[in-house]
Chain A
Amino acid sequence: MDWTALFLSLRLAAFTVVILLPIGIVMGRFLAYRNFPGKGLTEALVALPLVLPPTVFGYYLLVVLGSASPVGQFWEALFGRPLVFTFEGLLIASIVFNLPFAIQPMQRGFEAIPREVRAAAACCGMPPWRALLRVELPLAWPGILTALVLSFAHTLGEFGIVLMVGGSIPGETRTIAIAIYDRVQAFDDAGAAQMSALLLAFSLVTIALTFAFSRRIGRRLG
């Protein structure tokens, strides 16, 4: 059992979720409420990580974040180490490839709020921020929670992109998914089996929770 890798994965997932929470709320709400030319394209871009093969994604991330790119060089000048093969690089990659997992359920959550209820909040004199806090978030929270749970779980399981952008550096980018791969290659079946069982159990719990919350979205506002 590679505890370092487990904690690394948990840290990566936690940071990802904490950062994606405001991003998801803003983007999800925006897409739920507004119609604008190019909305279809925007939604397709958000959904892209769902269908793109992880290696394609990883490749482009390397191109954008790697040492040869302006972004990579800027980072290296600022912090003394490259963006790739570091936890920070992984975090950036994780945020990008989790965008659909964060935004789409939140968008559904906000869409489920009847327009008249939102209009009623404004008629009650609530400025937009107060309407968000007192009316929209309480009604959209199943969607928001689903988004956070899915993003967390997905980050724990992501492999291809992590391997390409992070390598497999113990303590820095060797997440639990990569550690399992590593243990198999080291002929350590016991270690691989232990960690796999843990991830399997976690995934089951995640799916169960997600379904439970999804049903609540419908029921609450039905």
Chain B
Amino acid sequence: MYRPFLKLTSRFKRAPGVAALLGVLVLIAALQPARAQDAPVIAGAADLQFALEEIAEAFLAETGQAVKLALGSSGNFARQIRQGAPFQIYMSADESYVLALERDGFTRDAGTLYAVGRIVVIAPHGSPLAADAALDDVAAALADGRLKRFAIANPEHAPYGKRAEEVLRRKGIWDAIRPRLVLGENVSQAAQFATSGNAEGGIIAYSLALSPKVSALGRYVLIPAEWHSPLRQRMVLLRDAGPVATRFYGYVQQPAARAILRKYGFLLPGDEG
């Protein structure tokens, strides 16, 4: 099978052949995709996975300008920003990260509260677990052995993970459930684990559960907001933010974007009552 190819390479008049190969490589290296200078990169909390994509599309449709999205755990982004990562907007799921960055001089100002998030307990179809707001069945399943793995985001740097821990502690099952936890790097990954059949269920963001892609995979129930500290989601323009980023920042606070956020279950400032 290799014969014709090998014959070819052995007849390779070496110098021009090698030059051709190197030429191809240099050509690939020179391939420059539309350089990142124009489109600013927004670091968004993982619970904004679907909402932010829609908002960015709407922004593009309205202004003709593109933005790039990086989604992950808020704590991780805060660390990267401190190390000089080139984000222009930071949309955190926990305002304490934003305030700390502002204090340390990485931001333009103290930012704005753009949403308040909620958490849900979810059980994929076919799971022996039943999703209920008081987590009664979770406790029961834990006790009688039905529950083997339970997915949450990593409480160390993901705000949704922290709230999951608070809720589980309040229920009094934290110590018992701890060995059974599957920790997602961010709440999006936790949702992946919770719905893929590799865990019996989990606690994830309401905004993710509302997306058709996720809601189709299981049953979810909102957990009472009083059970955990609020998810006050704050966004801020970072020091090197350019005009497009500034424009986007404003856009998120406007009716079109707010409608999208509302659609994904976020409570919005100015919406109380």
Q: Do chains A and B touch in the complex (CB under 8 A)?
A: yes
* A interface residues (Cβ-Cβ under 8 A, vs B): 3-4, 7-8, 10-11, 13-15, 17-18, 21, 62, 66-68, 76, 81-82, 84-86, 137-138, 141, 167-172, 174, 182, 184-187, 212, 216
Decide if A17 touches B25 in the complex (CB within 8 Å): yes
B82-94 vs A, Cβ < 8 Å mask (1 yes, 0 no) = 0111110000000
Q: Indicate whether B183 reaches chain A with its CB closer than 8 angstroms.
A: no
CB of B77 to closest CB in A, whole Å: 9
Interchain Cβ contacts under 8 Å between A and B, 19 examples: A4-B33, A7-B33, A14-B25, A14-B28, A18-B26, A62-B83, A76-B84, A81-B84, A81-B86, A82-B83, A82-B84, A84-B83, A167-B85, A170-B41, A171-B33, A171-B39, A172-B41, A172-B86, A185-B186
Stretch at the interface among B64-72, B108-116, B136-144, B158-166: B64-72
Q: Main secondary structure on chain A at its contact with chain B?
A: helix
CA distance A40 to B51 in the complex (A): 56
List 9 additional contacts besides A18-B22, A18-B26; criterion CB under 8 Å. A76-B84, A167-B70, A169-B70, A170-B41, A171-B34, A185-B46, A185-B188, A185-B192, A187-B191
- Given contacts A76-B84, A167-B70, A167-B85, are A11 and B31 in contact (CB under 8 A)? yes
Interface residues on B, range: 35 or more
CB of B106 to closest CB in A, whole Å: 12
Inter-chain contacts of B69 with A (CB < 8 A):
170
Decide if A67 touches B41 in the complex (CB within 8 Å): no
Decide if B189 touches A185 in the complex (CB within 8 Å): yes
Q: Main secondary structure on chain B at its contact with chain A?
A: mixed
Inter-chain contacts of B14 with A (CB < 8 A):
137-138, 141
- Given contacts A169-B41, A172-B36, are A10 and B86 in contact (CB under 8 A)? no
Q: Indicate whether B11 reaches chain A with its CB closer than 8 angstroms.
A: no
CB of A65 to closest CB in B, whole Å: 10
- CB closest chain-A residue, reference B32: A11
- CB closest chain-A residue, reference B12: A141
Inter-chain contacts of B189 with A (CB < 8 A):
185
Inter-chain contacts of B34 with A (CB < 8 A):
4, 171
Q: Which of A3, A14, A85, A137 contacts B26 (CB 8 A)?
A: A14
CB of A95 to closest CB in B, whole Å: 13
CA distance A170 to B35 in the complex (A): 11
The residue in B25, B26, B192 that gathers the most chain A C-beta atoms within 10 A of its C-beta is B25
Decide if A67 touches B83 in the complex (CB within 8 Å): yes
Decide if B6 touches A216 in the complex (CB within 8 Å): yes
Decide if B86 touches A187 in the complex (CB within 8 Å): no
Inter-chain contacts of B70 with A (CB < 8 A):
167-170, 174
Inter-chain contacts of A167 with B (CB < 8 A):
70, 80, 85
* B interface residues (Cβ-Cβ under 8 A, vs A): 2, 5-6, 14, 22, 25-26, 28-29, 31, 33-36, 39, 41, 46, 49, 68-72, 80, 83-87, 186, 188-189, 191-192, 211, 213-214
CB of A207 to closest CB in B, whole Å: 13
CB of B73 to closest CB in A, whole Å: 11
Inter-chain contacts of B84 with A (CB < 8 A):
67, 76, 81-82, 84-85
- CB closest chain-B residue, reference A19: B29
CB of B57 to closest CB in A, whole Å: 14
CB of B240 to closest CB in A, whole Å: 9
CB of B41 to closest CB in A, whole Å: 6
Decide if B31 touches A85 in the complex (CB within 8 Å): no
- CB closest chain-A residue, reference B216: A187
Decide if A10 touches B31 in the complex (CB within 8 Å): yes
Inter-chain contacts of A174 with B (CB < 8 A):
70
- Given contacts A138-B14, A216-B6, are A185 and B86 in contact (CB under 8 A)? no
Inter-chain contacts of A185 with B (CB < 8 A):
46, 49, 71, 186, 188-189, 192
Inter-chain contacts of B211 with A (CB < 8 A):
187
- Given contacts A171-B36, A185-B46, A185-B188, are A86 and B86 in contact (CB under 8 A)? yes
The residue in B28, B71, B189 that gathers the most chain A C-beta atoms within 10 A of its C-beta is B28
Decide if B68 touches A171 in the complex (CB within 8 Å): yes
CA distance A172 to B191 in the complex (A): 27
CA distance A17 to B27 in the complex (A): 13
Inter-chain contacts of A137 with B (CB < 8 A):
14
CA distance A78 to B189 in the complex (A): 38
CA distance A170 to B5 in the complex (A): 38
